[in-house]
């Protein structure tokens, strides 16, 4: 790529619109939504189920778009995000705003009309939470930004469950709580090895504000309730032994990796550091845990 193509704004193509939706993060968001839907104790018509998942995907994409619309200044200062369509100048902000608002409204209205109002209401709350509470309000103000704002990403299984059943009971609240408590170790493990980037952008992430030692302690601190909540559906009788066994085994691995990160004092080096291991495993963990939930629900239905 020449310098001219980097600095000269060019027309955005479909890849830029896709990039606005943060597709890789979206994959896990949609997956946990699907698992919530499939684990619910009722059957949903496949077309309605598909529509519900589509709405979650569109809403998450819309929220990711509005997040990028708002933080062009931050994204342009971080290596990881500087090549996104807006900071790189491949798309103008108004186009992104229209795309994000349009998708948001479309996804919520479609969910309300085709699925049910409970799912549509929680979907609207998720978008507003990610955009207003996390992106606009907390992200630039407090190192607790991801703890409170991270709740946005915890709603999808609850939305999937509500799409199938029309209500929210203790089990979908537990599924929400798993992702809510998983987000801090997921993110702080990552922030420990991309710390300088956030410092450059002036984002008060925990390692930047409180330092590495406190961040490591917080990784361990949040892993304890996360582990309890992840295993809880089994002793509480919401799931059977398949979920229980998988939850105990994978949570044990998560806890050991988190403990290593918590106990470490040295600066992370290159290669597969414990922080990178925990971050990568955190993603695999949710995939396995929620997969086990669905298998368990189908086998013991
Ligand atoms: C406030 C909460 C969260 C923050 C600050 C956060 C932050 C990040 C960051 C900075 C990355 C690095 C790579 C990238 O930009 O793609 C990442 C990766 C990732 N996150 Fe999160 N995350 C959060 C919540 C979630 C949630 C709720 C999910 C899904 C349930 C999720 C799923 C993922 C996945 C799948 C990746 C890997 C993407 C890849 O392959 O590059 N994250 N996260
Ligand atoms: C159903 C629905 C509307 C769900 C939306 C929730 C959602 C997409 C949550 C993910 C949260 C997330 C990726 C935060 C990234 O932080 P950041 O935005 O600070 O990351 P960045 O530094 O990469 O921009």
Nearest to 25 by CA among 63, 75, 76, 74: 63
Hey, where are the domains in the chain?
12-142+156-164, 169-301
Ligand 1 centre and the CA of 2: distance in Å?
30
Ligand nearest to the CA of 287: 1
Centroid of ligand 1 to alpha carbon of 64 (angstroms): 11
266: Cβ–Cβ under 8 A, 6 or more apart, which residues? none
Q: Ligand 1: residues within 6 Å at CB?
A: 24-25, 28-29, 32, 80, 134, 146, 149-150, 153, 179, 183, 186-187, 190, 283, 286
Tokens 């619910």 belong to which residue? 40
Q: How far apart are CA 9 and CA 7, in angstroms?
A: 6
* Nearest Cα residue to 202 out of 275, 139, 125, 285: 139
Note down pLDDT in tens along the chain; length 301 residues.
444 444 455 678 999 999 999 999 999 999 999 999 999 999 899 999 999 999 999 999 999 999 999 999 999 999 889 999 999 999 999 999 999 999 999 999 999 999 999 999 999 999 999 999 999 999 999 999 999 988 999 999 999 999 999 999 999 999 999 999 999 999 999 988 876 788 889 899 998 899 999 999 999 999 999 999 999 999 999 999 999 999 999 999 999 999 999 999 866 567 889 999 999 999 999 999 999 999 999 999 8
Protein residue with least CA distance to atom 1, ligand 2: 60
Dist. CA 25 → ligand 1 center (Å): 5
Give the Å distance between the CA of 279 and the centre of ligand 1. 9
Please report where in the chains the tokens 């089994």 appear, as a residue: 234
- Cα distance between residue 142 and residue 164, in whole Å: 36
Residue nearest to atom 41 of ligand 1 (CA): 24
Who contacts 52 (Cβ-Cβ below 8 Å, separation ≥6)?
A: 33, 37, 44, 111, 114, 115, 119, 159, 160, 163, 164
ipTM confidence: 0.95
CB-neighbour burial class of residue 67 (10 A; exposed 0-12, middle 13-18, buried 19+): buried
Instruction: Please tell me the distance between residue 63's alpha carbon and the centre of ligand 2 in angstroms.
Output: 7
Q: Give this prediction's pTM.
A: 0.94
CATH superfamily of 12-142+156-164: UbiA prenyltransferase (1.10.357.140)
Q: How many CA atoms lie within 13 A of 225 on its CB side?
A: 13
């Amino acid at each position: 790529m020449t310098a001219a193509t980097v600095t000269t704004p060019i027309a955005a193509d479909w890849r830029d619109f896709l990039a606005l939706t943060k597709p890789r993060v979206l994959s896990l968001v949609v997956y946990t939504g699907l698992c919530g839907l499939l684990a619910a104790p009722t059957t949903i018509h496949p077309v309605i189920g598909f529509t519900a998942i589509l709405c979650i995907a569109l809403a998450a994409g819309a929220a990711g778009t509005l997040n990028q619309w708002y933080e062009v200044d931050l994204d342009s200062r971080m290596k990881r995000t500087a090549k996104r369509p807006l900071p790189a100048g491949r798309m103008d902000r108004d186009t992104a705003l229209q795309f994000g608002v349009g998708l948001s409204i479309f996804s919520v209205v479609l969910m309300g009309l085709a699925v049910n109002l409970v799912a549509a209401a929680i979907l609207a709350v998720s978008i507003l939470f990610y955009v207003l509470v996390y992106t606009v309000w907390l992200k630039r103000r407090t190192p607790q930004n991801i703890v409170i704002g991270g709740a946005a990403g915890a709603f999808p299984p609850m939305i999937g469950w509500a799409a199938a059943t029309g209500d929210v009971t203790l089990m979908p609240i537990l599924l929400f709580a798993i992702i809510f408590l998983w987000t801090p170790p997921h993110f702080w493990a990552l922030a420990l090895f991309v710390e300088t980037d956030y410092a450059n952008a002036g984002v008060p992430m925990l390692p930047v504000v409180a330092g590495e030692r406190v961040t490591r302690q917080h990784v361990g601190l949040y892993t304890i309730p996360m582990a309890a909540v992840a295993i809880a559906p089994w002793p509480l009788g919401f799931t059977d032994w398949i979920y229980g066994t998988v939850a105990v085994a994978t949570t044990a691995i998560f806890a050991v990796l988190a403990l290593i990160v918590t106990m470490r004092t040295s600066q992370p080096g290159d290669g597969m550091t414990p922080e990178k291991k925990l971050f990568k495993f955190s993603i695999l963990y949710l995939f396995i845990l929620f997969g086990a939930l669905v298998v368990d629900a189908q086998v013991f239905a």
